[in-house]
Amino acid sequence: MTEVLALLILLTVIAAIITVLTPNLLYSVISLGAVGFLLAIAFMFLAAPDIAIVQIGVEVVSLVILIRATLGRETQMVKVSRTVVGVAFAVAFVAVIGLFGIQVFNEFPVFGMPVMERFSDAPSATYLAQGLEETGAPNIVTAVLLDFRAWDTLGEATVLFCAALGTVAVLRRKARRFPEPGVDEQQEDETP
């Protein structure tokens, strides 16, 4: 069980590294999809089917959008020259974040240990014990998302609404009906 999970996470990390390092944009998008689907399988192994469903769906949609955005679009590779100062900054950032990461890893609970075993007054114990009586919904994840913590879900829905609103406002066709020469290509270059 843990070995399978470790293998999945190892494959995820490898796919993520390929995503960053490959020179071809399409290969990069495909391996990004591999990251998402491996993560969904990992969620299934961790007994979280709700998150796995959302992960697979969002991954499919974002992959389709990214492939539509990359296919048929000429991309230019930009050679970035590395300076000493840049490398020094990168190493310093990685060192600082790694230091914080080690600190955080020391504070982690044992793998698979629920929160209410660590803190006896955790609200999740109440949710699990009285969730069905109070909400009438056997799926405790939905009960938490849409009843106990519905305000968080309202914020999430608002974020999605604002994202769609911003996309439609920025990429609306109205402004494209009065094209000045050269404006269109410039837009194309700037949007990704």
**Which of these ranges, 19-27, 95-103, 107-115, 176-184, lies near another protein under the rule CB under 8 A?**
176-184
State the helix-helix crossing angle for 2-21 and 25-45, rounded to 10 degrees: 160
**Which of these ranges, 18-26, 85-93, 108-116, 141-149, lies near another protein under the rule CB under 8 A?**
141-149
Any contact of residue 180 with another protein (CB under 8 A)? Answer: no
Q: How far apart are the first and last CA of the chain?
A: 40
According to DSSP, residue 11 is labeled H
Any contact of residue 174 with another protein (CB under 8 A)? Answer: yes
Cβ distance to another protein smaller for residue 54 or 96: 54
In the block, tokens 């000045």 appear at 180
Single-letter amino acid, residue 172: R
Q: Looking at 177, 178, 182, 190, which residue binds another protein (CB under 8 A)? A: 177
Any contact of residue 132 with another protein (CB under 8 A)? Answer: yes
Question: How far is the CA of 37 from the CAs of 13, 44, 139, in angstroms?
Answer: 12, 11, 24
Any contact of residue 161 with another protein (CB under 8 A)? Answer: yes
Question: How far is the CA of 169 from the CAs of 66, 158, 179, 185, in angstroms?
Answer: 20, 16, 17, 19
Q: Is the distance from CB of 129 to CB of 120 less than 8 angstroms?
A: no
Residues 53 and 55: their CA atoms lie apart, in Å, by: 5
Any contact of residue 39 with another protein (CB under 8 A)? Answer: no
Any contact of residue 191 with another protein (CB under 8 A)? Answer: yes
Residues 140 and 134: their CA atoms lie apart, in Å, by: 11
3-state secondary structure of 1: coil
Any contact of residue 163 with another protein (CB under 8 A)? Answer: yes
Any contact of residue 134 with another protein (CB under 8 A)? Answer: yes
Single-letter amino acid, residue 93: F
Any contact of residue 54 with another protein (CB under 8 A)? Answer: yes
Least distance (Å) between residue 130 CB and another protein = 12
Any contact of residue 137 with another protein (CB under 8 A)? Answer: yes
Residues that bind another protein (CB under 8 A): 49-50, 53-54, 57-58, 60-61, 64-65, 68-69, 71-74, 132, 134-139, 141-143, 145-147, 150-151, 153-154, 156-158, 160-161, 163-164, 167-169, 171-174, 176-177, 184, 187-188, 191
